[in-house]
Amino acid sequence: MRNVSRRTRELGTENAFVVLGEVERLVAEGQDIVSFCIGQPDFPTPDNICLAGIRAITQGKTGYTPSPGIPALREAVARYFTRTRGVEVRPDEVVCGCGGKPFIGYSILTLTDYGAGHEVVFPNPGFPIYSSQVAASGAVPVPLALREARGFNFDLDELKQKINDRTRLLILCSPGNPTGNLLGRAELEQVAEIVRPFENLWIYSDEVYNGLVYDGEFTSIAAMPGMKERTIIADSASKTYSMTGWRIGYAANAALAPYFTRWVTNTDSCPPHPNQYAVIEALNGPQDDARHMRDVFLERRDRIVRGLNELPGWRCLSPGGAFYVWPNVTEACRMVGAKDSVELRKRLLLEAGVAVLADIHFGTRVPGDGEHVRFSYASSLEAIDRGLARIADFMKKNRR
C-alpha cells in the first residue's frame, strides 16, 4: 500500500463512535446491551423545527448558500448569542458551518502555524477532537488537568504555569464533556485576569451544552471585561435542540469571521441549505421543547448519580451541566480484579451488557485522580435503572 502522511496515520478519533460500533456488532449478534456511550439526545427533533426544514426543501432551498450561512440564520444566531451570552453580537461576526466540530479545527488552523512551536491549552479529560486537531495542525498540545477535588475544574495556578508567549489558544468547555463540569463567573473572571497580559492569546469557548445547565447559571467568558474581542463563541443546534444529524453549528468573533468564512469555503462550501432554515426556527421559535428536554435530563442526572453512588466501590460527583457523569471507579476496579478502567469497561460490556467509555478515551489520566468511566445519561430512566441493576449484579458476582 502506498504511504499516507504521518499526520493522517496518527490522527486521533472520537472513541464514542468506536465503542458504538462494538455495541452495534453485539446487538446484531443478538445480545441485549444497555448503552451509555454516545452523547446524543434521545429525543426527536421538535416538530416545528422539522417542518421548517421540510418547508425549505419543498420551496427549493436546496442549492449553495453564502459560505458563512444565509443572512437570516446569521441574524438569528447573533440575536441568540446577544440574548444568552450577555454581550452584543452582530450578524457579520457570525459564521455558520457543518456542526460545531469544524470550528475547533478552523480556530487552530487560523491561529497557529505548523511547526512554529505555537501552543494550544485544552482541558484534560476533554473532548478528544481538541487534542487530535491540535496535533494534526502541527501545533503543540498542552493538556490542562481537570481535577476531581475541584469538581473537575482546573487549578488556576496550573493554568498560569501552562500559558506563555507561545500560547496561541486556550480552549474552555463549560458545561464540559466528559465530566459535566461548570465554570462559574468568579472562575471565569480569574481566567480573564490570567490571559489578559498575553496579547496573542485567543480563547475558544466551546458552549455547545449551554442550554443544559442544572446548578447555577451558564456564563460565557466572552461577557468578562475585555474578553469578547479575543473569544471565539462556539455553539451548535445539536444538543439544545436535539439536532445532531442536522449538522449546523456557529461561531462568533469579529476579527476571525472572515478567516473562518474562507475555511468553510475551502472545506464544505457552505452549511446544508434547508437545514439552515430549520435552525432559524429552533432559535427564533418556541423554546418549550428545549426546556422540557433540559428538565428531563436533570431528572435523569439525579437518578444516575444517586444509583452510581449506591454501588459498592463507585463514587460519582453530580455534574453541573451537559448529560454526562464521570464516576471514579478506582475502588470498583480493585474489588472485581480489573487492572484499570479500560478492563472494567470491556468487562461491563461483555459480562454485564452495559456500554460505557473509559477515561483514556478522553485524554491521559490525571495523576492522583484514579480511574474513571463516562456515562451519557441521554437515555431513558428505564434504561438507567436497567443499566444500574446490571452493574450492581456484576459487582456482586465478581467481588473479591
Question: Does residue 171 have a pLDDT over 90?
Answer: yes
Question: For residue 221, what pLDDT is reported?
Answer: 98
Structural domain containing residue 257: 63-284
User: What is the chain's length?
Assistant: 400
Give the least confident one: 3-7, 119-123, 171-175. Answer: 3-7
**pTM of the predicted model, to two decimals?**
0.95
Q: Which residues neighbour 194 within 8 Å (Cβ) at sequence distance 6 or greater?
A: 156, 159, 160, 163
Domain count, the chain: 2
Q: 90 or 14: whose pLDDT is higher?
A: 90
> Is 55 within the bounds of a domain?
no
Show which of 235, 254, 284 is a domain's final residue: 284
CATH number of the domain residue 154 falls in:
3.40.640.10
Question: For residue 1, what pLDDT is reported?
Answer: 60
E strand segments, the chain: 34-35, 94-97, 119-124, 140-145, 167-173, 202-206, 231-236, 249-252, 324-325, 354-355, 357-358, 373-376
Do 270 and 334 share a domain, yes or no? no
> Is 115 within the bounds of a domain?
yes
Q: Which residues neighbour 318 within 8 Å (Cβ) at sequence distance 6 or greater?
A: 215, 301, 302, 305
Question: Does residue 204 have a pLDDT over 80?
Answer: yes
**pLDDT of 284-335, one tens digit each?**
999 999 999 999 999 999 999 999 999 999 999 999 999 999 999 999 999 9
Question: For residue 2, what pLDDT is reported?
Answer: 77
Q: Which residues neighbour 393 within 8 Å (Cβ) at sequence distance 6 or greater?
A: 352
**pLDDT of 157-167, one tens digit each?**
999 999 999 99
